[in-house]
Structure 1
Amino acid sequence: MSWRGLPTAIIWISRRECAGGVRKIHTSNRKTAATASIGTLPGVVAKPKSYSSNSSITPLSILPTPNVLRTYLIASVTASPLLLRGCFAVLNRLLESKSTIIDVDRNPILRQIFKQTLYAQFCAGETKEEVRRTTSAMKSVGFDGIILEYALELLLDEKATNAVDPEVTKSEIATWKQGMTDSVDMTDSGEFVGLKWSGLGTEALRLLRGGQLPSPAMEQAIHEICDHAAAKNVKLLPSAEEESTNIGIDRWTQALQKKYNRDRSKGAILYNTYQAYLTSCPGKLARGLAEAEQEGYTLGVKLVRGAYMSSEPRSNIWSSKEETDKAYDELTESLIRRKYLGRLQPHDGSEGHAFPNVSIMLATHNQTSVRKAQEIRNELATKGEQLGELAYAQLYGMADEIGCQLVQNSKAAKRERETIGVQLDMPRTFKLVAWGTTKQCLHFLYRRARENQDAIARTKETKQAMWEELVRRMKALVVK
């Protein structure tokens, strides 16, 4: 078959799948580097495939062809600097224009185009029912759940952060609280809700930058959300923010962890984010560990590389990407082994410190870091050592070759345990996904894309993986 006929054949495969006519198109004896992507349309529930001990099924094969094709097309755009700049220009125009014609909420044609492309790839839904369908679709293929984040963001005017309007502050707090309440309501026990402390509004941002505690009204709203989450065993996962807010964020989070992370059987309810690209990260983590050990609570650690390199002072960041990678991997190993190693040393420099109970979220799109973490966890598991709470996360619609590989690893580890008694780590994998109206999500995606341009540009691996999977399915169809 000519490669020119590939698009037509892919459409034919997709129709066969939707009609239930293709039974074995996702399986093949040919090994491939192709991996997976998730980006399920609300309402499209992908059926999990069976895994036998002699199967050479590829991670990507758990997903429907339309999802693979959409990811390939979007990755083709994001992998091209020229096309990516054009995409940013279009998104910016859609956001700034007051015209009804190019308003995604008021133009039904434009809304449908956006809803079936970028929205379907990166967002969970506009309603609770759509979000639940998306969550069910993810779980049906093997993911452990979601990290749900409300897409409505308060657009803060830098000049306005010095002025305080009590009525505006009250409205901003109420908006944040309602979004968080709805997010917790839609999240199942053991899953996560993402949040931004600066989302509480202009006054909150001013307090964070000054290293001050939240106002009484903010504190009341925060505790109501934490109480609601703790009652459901829903974990709260703050996003990374600019370094200028970190002192304030640490003060807010530390006080909350002391209250809500006491129950060791549930692990951490509230996490804090540690950005490995900052040279201050090992010291910050050491202080957090020391405080948790002294106060007797579980430290919730969300470890990321970082998303604000373009805005941070260069002196705050490691000298090279290799140094950042090394820092991330060393901190990961220390946390998993529950030992002070490499860059991570006891806060006061003394020896013999006990390591506190830690709940870990490795939020990374780096395949090497994930592989190293898995190797350490499997080493400890085979030795019969107790494994602490750990989960992996990637953005919904991105780096899914990593997520689906972890899903496959978990299924394989479970099979090994049940058949021959080999103890291996069963990784838990989550996807961070926004929910909200099309316009809200458009703002959210644009701002997140601006913050994560480096990560978005590194999608060539995903593009290649999607292409290999599409070709594999074509060949399987021809052979059949």
Structure 2
Amino acid sequence: MAAMDPVVDFGMWVMNSKLMGMDNIVRDLIFRAVRHTFYEHFCAGENTVELANCMKRLNESGLRGMLDFAVEFTSDNDACDRNFHGFLDTIETAKTLPPSSVSSVVVKITAICPLNLLERVSDLLSPLYHTLKKPDPLTPEEEQHLLLGQQRLLKLCQACVEANIPLVIDAEHTTVQPAVDYFTYSSAIKCNKDDNPIVYGTIQAYLKDAKERLLLATNAADKMGVPMGFKLVRGAYMSSERKLASSLGYQSPIHNNIQQTHACYNDCASFLLESITNGSHGVILATHNVESGRLAAKKAEDLGIAYWNKKLEFAQLYGMAEALSFGLRNAGFQVSKYMPFGPVETAIPYLLRRAEENRGLLSASGLDRELTRKELGRRLKAAIL
């Protein structure tokens, strides 16, 4: 269903319509429908108890989990504080689970620092295509709010250091990514020690400058003697990035076609795998593309990277690309599923974004559906006979 454009369009229309502002009965019916369909397929539970149970079932099948408190961006410090405590509780939950079941905890910077402030900081740090004029300096109040955001992240980093659990910082829109990178690398300098990367940044391969930024980051980390962690993804905000660039009369920062994105992803993955053999960096290769998974596995084998090497992890979203996840696991690699959790009403913005991002991916990747059809046929035949 999630691969069908009309279904996705209808679902997004309902979630953004006046129906969500009607009486409790209508809202409850909608939430119930969402919970027992898309939510249960793509999310790990409404709270840490349900998350822990889901993680245990996942680990029994030989996979690990990246714990993600599924909240989106916010615009005020009170909400940032609430989200911070949600991420902190996630780390505490991770500490109670078997170490073999948890690969990392995920944090979203726009959930712990106001979005508009991150946009202002990004304009000052590195003016990109969306910057039309020279930005004004931060006000004293903005500087104070920025400090609060940094303190929230450092507290989360310290909690992960004490628990020896990696903290993966998600990539976001290019309008805030310079600020996200600032948060990421400044915290990595403080927390990544002794050949043990705790803080992981994210590189989006659909950006034309992805390889260049990756090279700059790894070279700087090597010069400073800082072990760095990198999660490599294809990218998440394609439609919005292109619309913004077009509205401002600039070229899109996204590759012109999917083949260029695939080539960039595979090139970056190859470089990162080589960095494991040459240094102390950690790598998470997050992909739903079977060919990219095959190429990376072959590269790791050619480089002599042991299957049990803790510096290498493959990852896919929970509820997606199961054939790839289990194929890589059966080949002996560490494999994680990205496990979003939280109340249905809190997770809906996450589900909407994922639906919009992945509609093309889901329609183009029919391997899981093909295997599911075969298995259903096998079970039906076995039941009849």
Aligned residue number for residue 324 of structure 2: 402
Of the three residues 353, 363, 367, the one matched with 2:290 is 367
Q: 1:398 to 1:95 in 2, by over 3 A?
A: farther
Say if 2:229 and 2:283, in contact at 8 Å, map to a contact too.
Answer: yes
Partner SS, residue 176 of structure 2: helix
Question: Which TM-score applies when normalising by structure 1?
Answer: 0.68
Residue 394 of structure 1 and its aligned partner are, at CA, apart by 1.0
TM-score (structure 2 length as normaliser): 0.84
Deviation at 1:333, TM superposition (A): 1.2
Contact 1:124–1:433, Cα closer than 8 Å, also in 2: yes
CA distance in 2, matches of 1:93, 1:456: 25
**Residue 185 of structure 2 aligns to a residue in which SS?**
helix
Matched, 1:193 2:105: yes
1:73 matched to which residue of 2? none
What does 1:37-76 align with in structure 2 at a 5 Å threshold?
none
Aligned residue type for 1:87: G
Aligned to 1:97: 21
Separation in 1 of the partners of 2:215 and 2:384? Answer: 57
TM alignment of 1:270-349, pairs within 5 A:
270-312=199-241, 313=245, 314-338=251-275
How far apart, CA to CA, are the structure 1 residues paired with 2:157 and 2:238? 30
Contact 2:308 2:334 in 1 (8 A): no
> Aligned pair in 2 of structure 1 residues 138, 120: CA closer, same or farther (>3 Å)?
same
Provide the rounded CA distance (Å) in 1 between the counterparts of 2:308 and 2:49: 38
Q: Which runs of structure 2 are paired with 1:374-389 in the superposition (5 Å)? A: 374-381=297-304, 389=311
Deviations 1:239-295 (A, max 9, x none): 22111222222222111111111121xx31111111111111111011111111111
Residues 399 and 173 of structure 1: CA distance in aligned 2, closer, same or farther (over 3 Å): same
C-alpha offsets along residues 12-31 of structure 1, whole Å, 9 cap, x if unaligned? xxxxxxxxxxxxxxxxxxxx
The code of the aligned residue for 2:239 comes to S
Note the alpha carbon deviations across 1:302-336, whole angstroms, 9 max, x for none: 11111122122344222321111111111111221
Shift of 1:478: 4.3
Over 3 Å counting, the alpha-carbon distance change for 1:396 and 1:465 in structure 2 is: same
In structure 2, stretches of 5+ residues that fail to align are 126-142, 246-250
Q: Structure 1 vs Structure 2: percent identity of aligned residues?
A: 26
1:427 and 1:175 map into 2 onto residues whose CA distance is 36
Long gaps (5+) in structure 1: 1-76, 157-167, 340-353, 410-425
Q: How far did 1:122 drift?
A: 1.3
Match of 2:381 in 1: 475
- Distance in 1 of aligned mates of 2:148 and 2:12: 37
Distance 1:370 1:196, change over 3 A: same
Tell whether the 8 Å contact from 1:377 to 1:387 is kept in structure 2 after alignment: no
Over aligned residue pairs, what C-alpha RMSD do you find?
Answer: 2.5
Asked if residue 177 in structure 1 is aligned to residue 106 in structure 2, the reply is no
Question: What is the alpha-carbon distance in structure 1 between the residues aligned to residue 179 and residue 338 of structure 2?
Answer: 24
Change (3 A) 1:476 1:460: same
Cα offset, 1:84, TM superposition: 2.6
CA distance in 1, matches of 2:198, 2:19: 35
Larger RCO (CA within 8 A; separation ≥ 6):
1
Provide closer, same or farther for how the CA distance between residues 135 and 89 of structure 1 changes in structure 2, counting only shifts above 3 A: same
Q: Verify the 8 A CA contact 2:14 2:20 in the aligned structure 1.
A: no
Question: Alpha-carbon deviation of 1:385?
Answer: 11
Q: Which moved more, 1:132-141 or 1:83-92?
A: 83-92
Matched residue count: 353
Rounded Cα–Cα distance in structure 2 between residues aligned with 1:178 and 1:258: 24
Counterpart-to-counterpart distance in 1, 2:186 and 2:261: 29
Letter in 1 for 2:299: I
In 1, are the aligned partners of 2:4 and 2:359 still within 8 Å (CA)?
A: no
CA distance in structure 1 between the aligned counterparts of 2:19 and 2:167, rounded to whole angstroms: 29
Bigger Rg, which one: 1
1:94/1:453 Cα in 2 relative to 1: closer, same or farther (>3 Å)? farther
**Post-superposition offset of 1:298:** 1.1
Partner residue of 1:128?
Answer: 48
Following superposition, the deviation at residue 94 of structure 1 comes to 7.7
> Which structure has greater helix proportion?
2
Structure 1 moving runs of 4+ over 6 Å: none
* Corresponding letter in the other structure for 2:355: A
Determine the C-alpha separation between the residues in 2 that align with 1:261 and 1:217: 21
Q: Which residue of 2 aligns with 1:39?
A: none
Taking the aligned partners of 2:213 and 2:164, their CA distance within structure 1 comes to 27
Whole-angstrom distance in 1 between the partners of 2:30 and 2:240: 33
